[in-house]
Amino acid sequence: MLRAKGVILVQSIDLTAFNIIAMTARHHNLRAFANINISHLLANLANIRALHANKSMIIMLKANAYGHGAVEIAKALDGLCEYFGVASVEEGIELILAGIEKTKVIVFSGFFSKDMVQTLIDYRLIPIIHSAYQYELLDEYFQSKHAEIWLKVNTGMNRLGLSEDEFEALYTQAQSYCKPINALTHLAESESCDQSFTLKQLQCFQALIKDKSFTHISAFNSAASLLNNNDFNTNTIRIGLALYGACAAAHPLLRCTLKPVMTLHSHVVAIQSIDVGDSVGYNRQYIAKSKTQIAIVTIGYGDGYPQAAPNGTMVAINGKVYPTAGKVSMDLMAIDIGMNKDIYIGDNVTLFGNHDLLVDDVAKHIGTSSYAMLTAINPRVKRFYLTSTDAETTQSVIKDTTASTK
Ligand SMILES: *Cc1c(COP(=O)(O)O)cnc(C)c1O
């Protein structure tokens, strides 16, 4: 049952619920769609909070909330964390216009002109100051009522950040106009098994903030928050990937604690029987070693699925995993289903997102990352937001599904 704004609500989030949504979507002839499980999002938040009980949290909503839909994710989390983090002024405006008001919005990289400063003030956006150049532009912001700032210091990432001297100087200057003043740095390889560089950065940061008074102090991203016990005098964590149920670190503990938020689905639209030596798709990158069947699925790189996926990348059809065959095309991809007779046109295909098919594992197979795979899924793929609150709708979804499967 499609409702206003294309949102489907179901009561319990388990396999049955996913099947219901999958069948409902089939009923509506959607070629590719993503379920965004808000219950899993909240469970991940609770898990991460439990590990860092006394800390503030910045939830990263940049890049459309890692492809999950920034406005919908922000609405689900408004008031449940202290800050949202976005990349640009535009991303910040989008959240404010959508009515986000309980959680404050920080702009991480995107302000570099005087014009943008007025926009920061108008939309109550909080700037991160990563260069002395930005600081010079901020006069009017300092005179506004809420002159909160974050000073970002470079401790080895060498991307954005003040030098140590600039950090000292701006800290001293900011005392007169800004309140609160917060500090952050960014880690370069927090997910690495070898934590020595991370440790070096954290010690450097710890030394820089010593003897200064900051309200919020932040260095840990998802991987660092999940892998480190010592907080190095920080009091605010910045969480992105882990909240969406993926992890950059191949840590077994993380894999079972985190629940995937996005499940990417499509459908079988055709089934081909081919012989030994026959090829599949552009440039004939797959040659059949034996007689087999190829299921053609309605998703491709035009939806944001990686074109680079090699032969043998795994997808699931009716809960069983099969390998891709040949090059991913713009709207379609091909799956080798062997001589299986239980797969039919219209069957649901899962590209990633449940525990048998984690986005982390698919990304690794392809040679990319969960970050890149999730953010690449584009607006052609309709998102459905699943929550556990609307029992009435659940009933209508179930009824609708029953009708459509007869
Ligand atoms: C995206 C981002 C984060 C969050 O990183 P995750 O690995 O997704 O948790 C933290 N800090 C900064 C500056 C970022 O840009």
Q: Smallest Cα–Cα separation from 80: which of 63, 102, 100? A: 102
The amino acid at residue 395 is Q
CA 295 to chain centre: 29
- Which burial class, exposed, middle or buried, applies to 357 when counting CB atoms under 10 A from its CB (0-12, 13-18, 19+)? buried
pLDDT digits (tens, 9 = 90+) for 99-129: 999 999 999 987 889 999 999 999 999 999 9
Q: How far apart are CA 45 and CA 243, in angstroms?
A: 6
- Counting atoms of ligand 1 from 1, which one is nearest the CA of 160? 13
In a mutational test of the pocket of ligand 1, which residue from 55, 81, 108 has the highest number of ligand atoms less than 8 Å from its CB? Answer: 108
Expressed in angstroms and rounded, the spacing between residue 191 Cα and the centre of ligand 1 is 12
Which positions ≥6 away from 381 have C-beta within 8 Å? Answer: 32, 33, 34, 264, 299, 303, 304
292-297 vs 314-317, strand pairing mode: unpaired
* Terminal Cα distance for the chain, rounded: 16
- Counting atoms of ligand 1 from 1, which one is nearest the CA of 238? 10
Q: Which residues sit with their C-beta closer than 6 Å to ligand 1?
A: 60, 62, 108, 186, 221-223, 238-242, 248
Expressed in angstroms and rounded, the spacing between residue 239 Cα and the centre of ligand 1 is 6
Bond prior to 310 in cis (omega within 30° of 0):
no
282 is catalytic: yes
- Counting atoms of ligand 1 from 1, which one is nearest the CA of 58? 10
Q: Which of 77-81, 92-96, 109-113 has the lowest mean pLDDT?
A: 109-113
Does residue 241 register a pLDDT over 80?
A: yes
Does residue 252 register a pLDDT over 90?
A: no
What pLDDT score does 250 carry?
Answer: 65
322 DSSP β-pair partners: 315
Which positions ≥6 away from 362 have C-beta within 8 Å? Answer: 313, 314, 351, 352, 373
Q: How far apart are CA 138 and CA 156, in angstroms?
A: 26
Expressed in angstroms and rounded, the spacing between residue 293 Cα and the centre of ligand 1 is 43
pLDDT digits (tens, 9 = 90+) for 148-188: 999 999 999 999 999 999 999 999 999 988 889 999 999 99
35 DSSP β-pair partners: 263, 384
The amino acid at residue 8 is I
Question: Residue 159, annotated ligand binder?
Answer: yes
Burial 144-158 (b: 16+ CB within 10 A, else e): beebbbbbbbbbbee
- Cα Dmax for the chain: 77
Q: How far apart are CA 182 and CA 148, in angstroms?
A: 8
Instruction: Check if the beta carbon of residue 215 is closer than 8 Å to that of residue 147.
Output: no
3-state secondary structure of 393: helix
Please tell me the pTM assigned to this model.
Answer: 0.88
What pLDDT score does 405 carry?
Answer: 35
The amino acid at residue 168 is E
104 is catalytic: no
DSSP 87: E
Instruction: Check if the beta carbon of residue 245 is closer than 8 Å to that of residue 44.
Output: yes
Question: Residue 330, annotated ligand binder?
Answer: yes
pLDDT digits (tens, 9 = 90+) for 267-314: 999 999 999 999 999 999 999 999 999 999 999 999 999 999 999 999
Expressed in angstroms and rounded, the spacing between residue 186 Cα and the centre of ligand 1 is 8
DSSP 153: B
- Counting atoms of ligand 1 from 1, which one is nearest the CA of 152? 13
**CB count, 10 Å around CB of 58?**
26
| Residue 261 tokens, joined | 């938020």
Q: Of these residues, 55, 62, 259, 327, which one is catalytic?
A: 62
- Counting atoms of ligand 1 from 1, which one is nearest the CA of 221? 9
| Residue 83 tokens, joined | 């800050």
Expressed in angstroms and rounded, the spacing between residue 192 Cα and the centre of ligand 1 is 15
Expressed in angstroms and rounded, the spacing between residue 240 Cα and the centre of ligand 1 is 6
Q: How far apart are CA 157 and CA 60, in angstroms?
A: 19
pLDDT digits (tens, 9 = 90+) for 184-193: 999 999 988 8
Q: Whose CA is nearest to atom 6 of ligand 1?
A: 240
In a mutational test of the pocket of ligand 1, which residue from 201, 238, 360 has the highest number of ligand atoms less than 8 Å from its CB? Answer: 238
Q: How far apart are CA 135 and CA 349, in angstroms?
A: 51
What pLDDT score does 227 carry?
Answer: 83
Q: Of these residues, 282, 344, 364, 399, which one is catalytic?
A: 282
* Half-sphere exposure for 33 (CA within 13 Å, toward CB): 27
Q: Smallest Cα–Cα separation from 83: which of 63, 113, 64, 62? A: 62
In a mutational test of the pocket of ligand 1, which residue from 68, 198, 217, 221 has the highest number of ligand atoms less than 8 Å from its CB? Answer: 221
Burial 87-117 (b: 16+ CB within 10 A, else e): ebbebbbbbeeeebeebbbbbbebbeeeebb
Q: How far apart are CA 182 and CA 18, in angstroms?
A: 42
